[in-house]
Structure formats: C-alpha cells, structure tokens
Structure 1
Amino acid sequence: MPGGSARRGPGLLGAPFAARTWKEFLHLVLDLPIAVASFTYVVVMLSLGVGLAVTFMGIPVLAAGVAGARGWGAMERARAAALLDVRMGRPSPLQPARPGLMGWLGAVLRDGVGWRSALYCLLMLPWGVFGFTVSVVLWTYGWAMLSYPAWQWVLPAFAGQPGLQIYGDGPGGRPEIYLDSVPEVAGVCAVGVVLVFATPWVIHGLANVNRLMVRGLLSPSALTERVRELEDDRGTVVDTAAADLRRIERDLHDGAQARLVALAMDLGLAKEKLDHDPQAAARMVDAAHGEVKLALQELRDLARGIHPAILTDRGLDAALSSVATRCTVPGGVRVTVDLDTRPASAIEGIAYFTVSELLTNISKHTTARTATVDVWRSDNRLMIQVHDDGQGGATTNTPGTGLTGLTERIHAVDGVFMIDSPHGGPTTITAELPWHTRS
C-alpha cells in the first residue's frame, strides 16, 4: 500500500515487545538530534539567503538552502520507510528549463518539494522535542518502575538509604519518605506495569503524527503521482500491444502462412500432373481444397482473437455467449448481460477479452463443474464478475501468468481487478472498467 503498511498491529500484551513499538520509539528518539540539525541548517541558509538578497550571492545561498532541504526530505522519507513502514513514491527530479547555473537556480527556487521539505524541517524541531521527551520519559520510567523490585537493593547497599526517596529534606527538615516496604515496592511495580503496557500506544500515537507529517509534506504531489501512474500504464499498454503483435505474427507465420505455402506447392504439383495423371491431380486438388478450409478456419480464429466480428456487430451479450459455448465446464456457463446501451468499443473489447481469458483459465486449470458470467453497469463503471465452483487458489502473485496480464491491462485503463479465491474454492473474480459511452 502506498503510503503505509497494511500489517496488523500488536496486541495489548505483545505491544511492549513488538518490533513496531521499538522501531517507532527509535524514530522518536532520533527525531530530536535530526530535528536540531535540520532546523539549524534551514534557518541559517534561508536567513542568510534572504539577508544577502540585496546582493547576487543571496540567490545562490537561498537556492542551496532549498536544495539542501530537499536532501533532508529524502533522508526523512528513507527513515520513515525503514522505521515507520511509510511507503511513498519519490518526487520527480529537478528539471531546469534551460542548462547552466541560472537554469538550475530557477528550478530550485520553483521547487515545491524543496520548500515543503524546508517547512518540514522547521516544524520538526518543536515536535521532535515534544515526542522525544514524552516517549523517553514514559518508556524509561515505566521499565524502571516495573523492575524496581530487582534493583531496589542497590539503594541501601550503595546509596545509604532504604529505598527510593520520594519526599523529605533531610535532618531538621521535612520528614523523609522512602519506598522500601513490600506494599510500596509492589505498588511501584504495578504502576510500572501500567506504564509499560500503555506507553507503546502513546508512542504509536506520536509516531502517527510523524507519519502524517511525512505524507503531508514530503510525499509527491497528487499530480506527480498521477503522471507517474499514467507513464507506467502507458508502458504497460505499449508492452501489451507489442506482445499481441508478436503473437499475431507468430500465429500467421506458424499457422496460416505455413499452410498456404504448402497449399501452393501442392497446387503446383497438381498442375504438373494434370496432363499425364489427371486422377492423381484431382486427388491433390481435393486435398488442397481441404487445406484451404483449414487455413480459412485458422484465419477466422486469428481474427476472432484480434477483435471478433460478433462483438462488433451484436455486442457483449452475443459475443460472451459465444465464448461461453467454447468453455469445457461440464455444467455449462450461464451468461447474464444487463446493459441498456453499449460502452465504447475499446472498453467493450477489454471486457470481452477479460471474460474470454478467465473462461479459458477455468477450462484449463480448474475442476469447476459450473461457471457464471455477470455483466452490468453501475453508475460510471462497467462491472464484470466471473464465478466458478472449482478448487480455488487463483492468484496474481506469479509474474507472467494470464491473471497478471489481465491485471495490468485493466489497470492501464484505470480499472480494478479483484480475486476472491480461497484454497478449496469457489473463485469469484470481479473487474471494474470505466464506462465510456460509444461515440
């Protein structure tokens, strides 16, 4: 999950010993020295840059301060990823409008990531002091009080007092009170238990504020993330299109083309035999006629794989029903298409090939006896759901599989692909595609 971890947190009894608690505590402890250093750097550089703004040196110093703040932000993103499980994309690199020093200075001073990182460094000092103080004090006192029965003997042995002193001024002053009796030691230990088991949740709350600050100030902008997603999707679409072209070329070369070459050779031989052995020539022409039928069938199958004519002419209902008849599920496939109008041809094609691929997987890889296909429109989404009663276990975690390819193809058009396939079955696969009206 971008921006955070989806793992379940520790329980109440396991919280003081959980890795998450100690990583968050380490992050809070490191906040103070890092905040002091980054705050000092940003204040000095920005103040110096503004102070020297009347001279030429002010602009480079100010730009260096912003660029350095960007570096602090990169370090903080890495620290948050390692200790707080905050995952996010990297901001786009600086892109000067023109080469040279002036281009770089202009790009830095217009860099929103750098200025937000500088603001983060300024806010981190007060928050770092607060988080460091609260977490260290509570954690230290909690473990010290919990272990008081184990180290209480040190006080009479080396400090010359019967126990931990909580009140008193010494001789002639207020009476001294020590925690040295069994009930008092037990009470201190009980308070320690409460602190030890409550402090992890305080630490977690403080760490969540850090997470919010990192996500809010150091993460890439929504526009940058969207551009990156579109670039990734464009790469997926290009790769998918190239793979489809290679498949078509391979099918033509190994199938219909090879059959037509053999057919031409057979017809050439038949032509040579036509004068002196007309019966053999007739047999060869008859065999060639059969080859023509097979070549035509292969070309029809290939054309169906590119874009079936029945989909273009009659829409999803008829096309999916045709696909369902080729599925080898013993109990058959029930197809229900509830659409008032037809979606755009590109979305219709993706929906067709998605169902076709899923039914092919059911035929080849499951022990299903029945399957259903439901297609309907929900607001601005085209919904597809394919269900089978097979053994389950379908997943997209294996690269290079058909389901992985379907996921990439659907995500490339801002769709959603979800699999519910526990081991033992059944399997329900749901796909959502954006609805675009046919023009």
Structure 2
Amino acid sequence: MVDDREIATRDGSGRGGFADRLGEIGRRGLLSLVRGLIQAVLALGVTLPLTIVTALSIAFIPLGVGIVLAPVFLTALRGVANQQRIWAEEWFGVRIPVPYRARPEKMGPFRRLGWLVSDPATWRDLLWCLLNVPLGFGLGLAAVVVLVYGLEGVFVAPWLAGVTDYGWGPFWMIGDYGVFGIVGTVVLAAALTVVSVPIASGLLRGHALFSQSLLAPTRTALTERVEHLAETRSDAVDVSAAELRRIERDLHDGAQARLVALSMNIGLAEEMMKHDPETAQKLLAEARSASGEALTELRGLVRGIHPPVLAERGLDGAVQALALSLPLPIDVRTDIPGRLQAPVESAAYFAVAEILANVVKHSQAQRAWIQAEHAGGRLQVIVGDDGIGGADPANGSGMRGIERRLAAFDGTMAVTSPQGGPTVVTMELPCALSSPKTLPSSGTA
C-alpha cells in the first residue's frame, strides 16, 4: 500500500523533472535567440562595412595609402574571423583551427603587408567576410524569426484577439473560434516554440559549418604543416641522439674513469694493508678523494640532463639560479604566472643556458639581462648583453642547436647582433600554463 507522502514525492519529482525539461528548452531557446541576433548584427554591422573598407584599402595599395591601411583592416578581419572560430567551437563544438602563417619577428610596413597579402588564409577570410553578409544575416535572422514566431502565438496573438476580435499573423482563426480558438492557438504556438528551438540551433550550426569550410586550413596548408612537423621531429630526434652521445661521452671520460681508478686504488690498498699500512692509508685517502670527484661529476651530469632546481622552482627560479652561477651581473625579470609543461621548461632553460654560455665565452660583455613573460598562450624569452656583438646563428652550432630544440615545440628564435653590440636573442614558444607559481619571479643576479 502506498501512502500519501510517497505519492506526493513522486508527483513532486515528476513535476520537477518536467519543469527542468521546460527550463532547459527555455534556456536553449534563449541562447539560440541571442546567438542569432549576434550573427545577424555581426553580418550587417561588422562584416559588411569591414568587407567594403578592406577591399578599398587593397585597391589603394598602388596609390601608397593602402600600404598603411590594408594591414590595419586585414588584421581587423582576422580578429573577426578568429572570434567566429571561437564561437563555432564554444557554441556548437565545430573546431576551426587557425591557419595563418607564422608572424615574422620584425616587420616594417612593406614586410607586414607582404606577410598578410601572401597568406592564402587572408583571402579566404575576405571571401568568408563577403559571403557572411547574406548567409550570416539570413541564418541568424531565420533562427530569431523561428523562435519569435511561436512566442508571438503564445503571448501576442491571444491578447490581440481579445482586443480587436480577430486573429493575428498565422493565428488568424482566433477570432472565429473564441475562447476555444485562443486555447488551441496557445497550445499550437507552444508546441511550435518547442520545435523551433532545435530548428534555430540547426540553422546556427549550419552557419558554423559554413564558416568552417572557409576559415579552416586548406589541404595544402595541412600538407605544409605535416612536412614542418616531420622536419622538426627529425631535428628533435637528432638533438636527442646528440644529447645521448654527450651523456655517454661524459660518463665514459669522466665519472666512469674515476670509478675505475677508485676501484684500482681500493684493490691496491687491500693488498698493501698487511705489508705497508702507511701506503695503504694513502691509497684509501686517494680513493676517497676520487669518489668525491666522481660524485661531483655525476651531479653535474644530472644537472645537465634536468636540473633539480628546474623541477623544484620552475623556469623563473632555475633561470635566476643559473644567472647567479655566472661571473658577470645579470638582470633577471620574469612574469610567468604558473608552471609550464616540463618539456617546454626544459627546452627554454637549456636555450637560455646555451646563450648565456656564449655570452661568457665570446661577447666580452660587462652586463647581461634576461626577460621572460607568458602572455597570449606564448612564452617569450629575451636574452641580451652589452658585448661586442657579431653573433650569427649560421656560424655557430650552439645557436643552430637552440633553433632545432625550439622548432620541436613550434618555437622560434631571432638574433639581433650588430658589430659593436648589443646582442639581443628573442625566443618564443607556444605553450600553456598549468599550476600557479608560488615563488617570486624577478630580481638581479
């Protein structure tokens, strides 16, 4: 036998479930309504004038004024296209990768214009902007109209029928059937409203798929990307193989040789212990000294593989510790509000270490500086010195090794080093942050 409380609980839960479903439909409908309005307004209010001024600025390039204006409007067009990529993924799960070519480190007006105009993705953005005017406005407005059509039948048509004694819009039968017509119209309009939610969402998703067809990388771009990844992977394998050979050489020539000598001294000491204790004691003392030197070399080797301070304190702490170990004052400024991924930290650390080693050996500098910051999903590290300059990556295997190490992570390196100095090395690595940092991040070494 079921008591009244159980019935009440079941009824309440049923009503709650139905109310939750209605609330979810209402939430989705409101989101589709807002998104449809955004797309319609964006199409007429942003992409239409942007298409016009961008086309005019490109046409004015031969006159000279377009050299300055075209990059401005093309960059603005990229901003709109990137926002559309974000909305497509956040709203409908339609991922649109960014297809643009890498930005050069230093650009004058002509180089900036050439970088933008020579990129095929720029012209696809412009084509999308042109087609988005009718399609974005039409699909966005259609989504809004479909949703408002049913709402008008629920809230507007019955009230208007009671005031004017005739139907309104699609619900013209209200005036003919009185109260029953009003109730039937409200039910019909409510059902239409529920059905209109997935229809509106489908229309907006269709716009996202249209955007994907033009704003995503082309097959040629993907092929170039695969070739670049294959090249950087090969470079990374070469760097790893060279690193393993270095470790093997250091072990063989350093710690292993000392351990062999240590073993021989201990063996001789065992033989001399009975006949010549004094000599045996000297041999044991030499063995103890050799063991300390071997331990020191092993610690240095471990630091060369992955410094403990890098694992404990992150890139900023490791760079500060590295600066303190060098024989010249180094100003360190970092703004990294979290921990980087371990491979990226390691690559950036050893790149900085190699550059600082070059500063000490070749630059004749009195001071050096390091600036590291993370912003916009990228780590930028700048290492400079006031030395004699003349550094050229083409003439040094160390800098070429840095380039290969960074390229494995899609990183770049630019060197500015005129004769007489100063030398400035700028490195960039795309990366994300993980846990927040807890240590101070600036100082002077």
* TM-score normalized by the length of structure 1: 0.48
Kindly indicate which of the two structures has a greater share of residues assigned to helix. 2
* TM-score normalized by the length of structure 2: 0.48
